């Protein structure tokens, strides 16, 4: 292999080569390693929960432990895996390469963001074993319970606060990078769509995260000093917490899904061997999602107590925010039409994404409709919907991107056959696990309950079986990816025939990314 | 590493402005809470506000406005290569920040000794609105105080950089950004002052 950033001499020769490096590629890999470790931990917690649900009543874990399990599963998956996931890991590695830049705008800040991430992770994980024990509030930290529970909520919430800072600083860094460091000739409409999606994500990270930061600070202050802002016995309003929580946390789901959509928009033209259909529509729909996504938070609170006027408006806006996502899906499918498709692992993952995301997106509209939401609010239906969008959507796209950029990042190829089997197993396991949850929710199975009546037995068991298939698929995929870092066949600079700039440098890239800064003369998908 | 020596003035300014947006939204969350409770308890907020000393708040407003002036003068001095004038102006700004915090400390102490703090029996005996007013008063001025400390810290750091020659008349963006942050701290107070002291 040629000289690359792994082999080129650096200032340090020990572990500091990684944890003190300001190279965006190394930081991206630091994130990737930490993110996937946390993912596997939270995944195993999920498996334990599903194992419990094999039968009703108290079996090998108590109700209280179950509360802690779903809280910890949610907190890790949301704050440690899926929010930082694509932007911090793949975005960090790929963004400067796609822009034709040597690094991000603020390389040192980039490293500090990772420190914030690790500090937040340490707080969140320490909270499990110290104080009053693992938080049992659910990842939403709803008051008044989060203020009154004896479990270690303060530390977990502080961890989430630090993770929020990490996310904000990453967004700030990417926005500045995109504004200032595009290669000569790369106008806004010659940018790859992955960058457009990171751009929209950056704005959401920047403008939504501070709201959760202040809300979490208020929860900590409530717990420490009893200020009373969310305490009805002092005149405070717990519903206000829900508003502030969702003012961030709804846009946050777009922080999770937008970069995933960016990956899909990269992979489709490369493997269909034709230009993307509706480049500008896809670019602008990212911005539209980011913008309208701010205005729909109330749809999480249809049963919490809101005026009918407010509910109708939030419901309408929820239907409107689905439109740009629909625009993207149609554009992706249209791009595949009459393409000379090369069916390869990244494209297979993308197809799985489109299938699962469409189910997830459309079932979201069920819940956006006021009358139907009354029926399915707080049931397994929402759990299924959320996992279809976030795991079937973001998760599968993340894995697609991981396979797509794998040769660029590691300079080797993974085993294509195993990758396909893994994707197939995951797709089957995923649907067996989560589809029954739609039905269970529709029949009235509430979320977060550790017990259930006998008539839900069959579907609960089916769902648990699905979790084993899914986990087998995931482990097979990771086994393939990890093993191929050393054993894979060496990859060329451009194994897929991509037209974007990251494929114009060697695999893996040299420390400074490009021997010569490239000049851009055409759009990114010029097939 | 690769871009350690890369310097982009506009990029640094963009980064700082983006950071200021996040700060505005951070405080914005609290202003939102304030607005909701002011609307819910207009009379009790009115009652509670009358117990704050306008003179102390006014003094702090003057102090912060003056400090914004000295901060701005520090930048323009450095741009004109008057290094020591700039250092003096920075010292003045930090000193004013200290006076502001001392004033705030005395004010908080007097409220606390009067039993006006969250959970105190004297405050609990009053209405919901008063409790929320004082709760928000401590949270908002407290968060603002933390920002005063942070701003003074940032200015002190730049002071050292100027002494070391890392920041000078050609590379003054660090000072400019610290001062931008200082203006934000000032601006937040400009809203806090009327909301707690004047709007009664």
Domain with residue B34: its CATH number is 1.20.120.80
Rounded CA-CA distance A224/A154 in Å is 9
Count of all residues that appear for chain B in the document: 200
Q: How far apart are CA A388 and CA A390, in angstroms?
A: 6
Q: A285 is written with which tokens?
A: 């729909």
Q: Nearest by CB to B11, which of A180, A208, A513? A: A180
Residue A399, number of CB atoms within 10 A of its CB: 26
pLDDT average, residue stretch A140-155: 90
Distance CA A208, CA A240 (A): 16
| pLDDT tens string B96-155 | 999 999 999 999 999 999 999 888 888 888 889 999 999 999 999 999 999 999 999 999
Provide ipTM, 2 decimals. 0.93
B102 part of a folded domain = yes
Q: Give the total number of structural domains in chain B.
A: 1
pLDDT band at B200 (very low <50, low <70, confident <90, very high): low
User: What distance lies between CA A161 and its chain's CA centroid?
Assistant: 18
In the numeric block, the tokens 């200020």 are attached to A227
pLDDT of residue B3 exceeding 60, the answer is no
Instruction: Compute the nearest-CA separation of A201 from chain B (Å).
Output: 14
In a mutational test of the B interface, the residue from A24, A104, A229, A297 whose CB has the highest number of chain B CBs within 10 Å is: A229
Higher pLDDT, B31 or A1: B31
Average pLDDT, chain A: 94
Question: pLDDT, tens digit, for every residue of A203-258?
Answer: 999 999 999 999 999 999 999 998 989 988 888 999 999 999 999 999 999 999 99
CATH code matching the domain that covers A18-504, chosen among 3.90.1820.10, 1.20.210.10, 1.10.645.10, 3.10.310.10: 1.20.210.10
Please say whether the beta carbons of A480 and A403 come within 8 A.
no
Residues 6+ apart with CB under 8 A from A461: A54
Residue-range definition of the domain harbouring residue B138: 9-198
Does the beta carbon of A175 lie under 8 angstroms from any beta carbon of chain B? yes
Nearest to B18 among A23, A172, A244 (CB): A172
In terms of phi and psi (left: phi > 0; alpha: psi -120 to 50; beta: otherwise), the region of A237 is: beta
Residue B1: is its pLDDT beyond 80?
no
Nearest CB to B8: which of A11, A105, A228? Answer: A105
What are the chain B neighbours of A226 within 8 Å (beta carbons)? Answer: 118-119
Question: How confident is the model over A105-122, as a mean pLDDT?
Answer: 96
Average pLDDT on A44-51 reads 96
- Which residue in B11, B22, B27 is closest to A176 by CB distance? B11
DSSP state of A303: T
Q: Compute the distance between CA of residue A268 and CA of residue A400 in angstroms, rounded to an integer.
A: 11
Q: Do B132 and A173 touch (CB under 8 A)?
A: no
Mutate to test the interface with B, among A4, A19, A170, A172 (most CBs of B within 10 A): A172
pLDDT over threshold 90, residue B199: no
> What would the pLDDT profile of A381-400 be if each residue is shown by its tens digit?
999 999 999 999 999 999 99
DSSP character for A183? Answer: P
Tell me whether residues B2 and A107 touch, CB distance under 8 A. yes
Of A47, A49, A59, A54, the closest CA to residue A461 belongs to A54
Query: CB B30 to CB A214 under 8 A?
Result: yes
What does the buried/exposed string (b/e) look like for A12-44 if buried means 16 or more CB atoms within 10 Å of the residue's CB? eeeeeeeeebbbbbbbbbbbbebbbebbebbbe
DSSP string, chain B: -TTTT---HHHHHHHHHHHHHHHHHHHHHHHHHHHHHHHH-HHHHHHHHTTS-HHHHHHHHHHHHHHHHHHHHHHHHHHTT-HHHHHHHHHHHHHHHHHHHHHHHHHHHHHHHTT-STT-HHHHTS-HHHHHHHHHHHHHHHHHHHHHHHHHHHHHHHHHHHHHTSS-SS--HHHHHHHHHHHHHHHHHHHHHIIIII--
Q: What is the mean pLDDT of residues A284-299?
A: 93
Residue B4 pLDDT grade (very low, low, confident, very high; cuts 50, 70, 90): very low
Is A78 in a helix, a strand, or coil? Answer: helix
Q: Phi first, then psi: what are they for A83, rounded to 5°? A: -70, -55
Which among A168, A173, A227 has the least Cβ separation from residue B118? A227
pLDDT at A129: 87
Cis before A508? omega within 30:
yes
- Check CB contact under 8 Å for A235 and B32: no
Identify the weakest region by mean pLDDT among A354-358, A415-419, B81-85, B122-126.
B122-126
A172 to B22: CB separation less than 8 angstroms, yes or no: yes
pLDDT value of position A234: 86
A416-442 helix and A396-410 helix, angle to the nearest 10 degrees = 160
B6 — pLDDT class (breaks 50, 70, 90): low
Instruction: Enumerate the domain spans of chain A.
Output: 18-504
Residue of A nearest to B125 (CA): A234
**Nearest of A299, A304, A297 to residue A246 by alpha carbon:** A297
Q: What is the pLDDT of residues A430-472, one digit of tens each?
A: 999 999 999 999 999 999 999 999 999 999 999 999 999 999 9
- A374, with CB counted inside 10 A (0-12, 13-18, 19+), is exposed
Q: What's the mean per-residue pLDDT of chain B?
A: 93
Domain presence at residue B83: yes
Question: How close is the nearest chain A Cα to the Cα of B158, in Å?
Answer: 17
Q: Report whether A283 contacts A362 (CB < 8 A).
A: no
pLDDT > 70: what percent of chain A?
100
Report residue A150's pLDDT band, with 50, 70 and 90 as the boundaries: confident
Instruction: Tell me the shortest Cα–Cα distance from A385 to chain B, in angstroms.
Output: 29
Residue B1 lies in a domain: no
Question: B-side interface with A, Cβ within 8 Å?
Answer: 1-4, 6, 8, 10-11, 14-15, 18-19, 21-23, 25-30, 32-33, 36-37, 40-41, 118-119, 124, 127-129, 131-132, 135-136, 138-139, 143
**Torsion, Cα of A352, A43, A155, B116 (10° steps):** 50
- Nearest residue of chain A to residue B131 (CA atoms): A234
The answer to whether the pTM exceeds 0.90 is yes
Instruction: Please indicate, yes or no, if residue B81 is contained in any of the structural domains.
Output: yes
- CA–CA min distance A294, chain B (Å): 13
Q: Which long-range contacts (CB under 8 A, 24 or more apart) does A25-29 make?
A: A25/A92, A25/A93, A25/A409, A25/A508, A25/A509, A25/A513, A27/A92, A27/A110, A27/A111, A27/A114, A28/A88, A28/A89, A28/A90, A28/A91, A28/A92, A28/A93, A28/A94, A28/A409, A29/A89, A29/A93, A29/A409
Rounded to a whole number of angstroms, the CA Rg of chain B reads 19
CB-CB neighbors (< 8 A) of A210 in chain B: 22-23, 25-26, 28-29
Question: What are the tokens at A295?
Answer: 């205005």
pLDDT surpasses 60 at A525: yes
In this prediction, residues A159-167 reach a mean pLDDT of: 95
Give the model's pLDDT for residue A59: 87
By C-alpha distance, which of A458, A455, A434, A435 is closest to A444?
A455
* pLDDT for the residue B184: 97
């Amino acid at each position: 292999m040629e000289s690359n950033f792994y082999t080129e001499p650096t200032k340090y020769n020990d572990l500091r080569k990684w944890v003190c490096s300001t190279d965006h590629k190394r930081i991206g890999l630091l994130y990737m390693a930490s993110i996937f470790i946390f993912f596997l931990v939270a995944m195993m917690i999920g498996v334990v929960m599903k194992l419990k649900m094999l039968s009703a009543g108290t079996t090998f874990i108590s109700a209280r432990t179950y509360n802690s399990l779903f809280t910890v599963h949610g907190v890790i998956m949301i704050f440690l895996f899926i929010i930082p996931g694509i932007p911090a890991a793949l975005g960090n590695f790929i963004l400067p390469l796609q822009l034709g830049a040597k690094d991000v705008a603020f390389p040192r800040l980039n490293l500090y963001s990772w420190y914030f991430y690790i500090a937040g992770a340490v707080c969140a994980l320490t909270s499990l074993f110290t104080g009053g024990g693992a938080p049992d509030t659910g990842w939403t930290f709803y008051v008044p319970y989060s203020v009154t529970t004896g479990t270690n909520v303060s530390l977990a919430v502080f961890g989430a606060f630090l993770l929020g800072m990490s996310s904000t600083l990453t967004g700030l860094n990417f926005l500045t990078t995109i504004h200032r460091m595009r290669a000569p000739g790369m106008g806004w409409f010659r940018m790859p769509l992955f960058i457009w999606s990171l751009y929209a994500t950056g704005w959401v990270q920047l403008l939504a995260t501070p709201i959760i930061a202040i809300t979490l600070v208020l929860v900590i202050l409530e717990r420490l000093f009893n200020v009373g802002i969310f305490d009805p016995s002092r005149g405070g309003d717990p519903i206000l917490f829900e508003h502030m929580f969702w003012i961030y946390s709804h846009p946050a789901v777009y922080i999770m899904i937008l970069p995933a959509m960016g990956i899909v928009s990269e992979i489709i033209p490369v493997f269909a061997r034709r230009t993307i259909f509706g480049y500008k529509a896809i670019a602008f729909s990212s911005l539209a999602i980011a913008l309208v996504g701010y205005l729909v938070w109330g749809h999480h609170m249809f049963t919490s107590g809101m005026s009918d006027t407010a509910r109708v408006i939030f419901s309408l806006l929820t239907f409107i925010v689905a439109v740009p996502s629909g625009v993207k899906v149609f554009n992706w499918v249209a791009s595949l039409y009459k393409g000379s498709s090369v069916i390869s692992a990244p494209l297979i993952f993308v197809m799985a994404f489109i299938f699962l995301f469409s189910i997830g997106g459309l079932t979201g509209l069920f819940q956006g409709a006021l009358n139907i939401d009354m029926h399915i609010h707080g049931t397994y239906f929402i759990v299924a919907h959320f996992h279809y969008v976030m795991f079937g959507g973001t998760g599968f796209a993340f894995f697609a991107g991981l396979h797509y950029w794998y040769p660029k990042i590691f300079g080797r190829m993974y085993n294509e056959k195993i990758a396909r089997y893994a994707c197939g197993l995951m797709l089957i396991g995923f649907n067996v696990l989560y589809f029954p949850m739609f039905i269970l929710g529709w029949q009235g199975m509430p979320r977060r309950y550790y017990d259930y009546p006998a008539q839900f037995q069959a579907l609960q068991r089916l769902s648990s079986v699905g979790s084993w298939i899914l986990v087998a698929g995931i482990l097979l995929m990771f086994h393939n990816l990890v093993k191929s870092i050393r054993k894979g066949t060496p990859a060329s600079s451009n194994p897929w025939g991509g037209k974007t700039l990251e494929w114009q440098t060697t695999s893996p890239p040299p420390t400074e990314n490009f021997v010569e800064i490239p000049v851009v003369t055409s759009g990114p998908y010029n097939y | 590493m690769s871009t350690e020596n890369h310097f982009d003035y506009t990029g640094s300014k963009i980064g700082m402005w983006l950071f200021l947006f996040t700060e505005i939204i951070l405080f914005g969350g609290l202003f939102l809470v304030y607005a909701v409770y002011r609307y819910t308890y207009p009379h009790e907020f009115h009652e509670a506000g009358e117990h704050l000393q306008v003179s102390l708040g006014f003094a702090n407003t003057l102090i912060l406005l003056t400090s914004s002036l000295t901060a701005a003068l520090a930048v323009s001095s450095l741009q004109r290569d008057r290094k020591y004038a700039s250092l003096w102006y920075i010292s003045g700004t930090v000193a004013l920040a200290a006076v502001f915090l001392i004033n705030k400390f005395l004010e908080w102490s007097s409220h606390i000794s009067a039993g006006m703090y969250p959970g105190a029996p004297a405050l609990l005996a009053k209405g919901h609105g008063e409790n929320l007013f004082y709760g928000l008063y401590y949270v908002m001025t407290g968060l603002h105080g933390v920002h005063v400390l942070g701003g003074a810290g940032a200015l002190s750091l730049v002071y050292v950089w100027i002494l070391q020659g890392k920041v000078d008349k050609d590379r003054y963006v660090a000072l400019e950004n610290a001062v931008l942050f200082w203006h934000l701290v000032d601006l937040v107070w400009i809203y806090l002052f009327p909301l707690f002291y004047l709007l009664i």
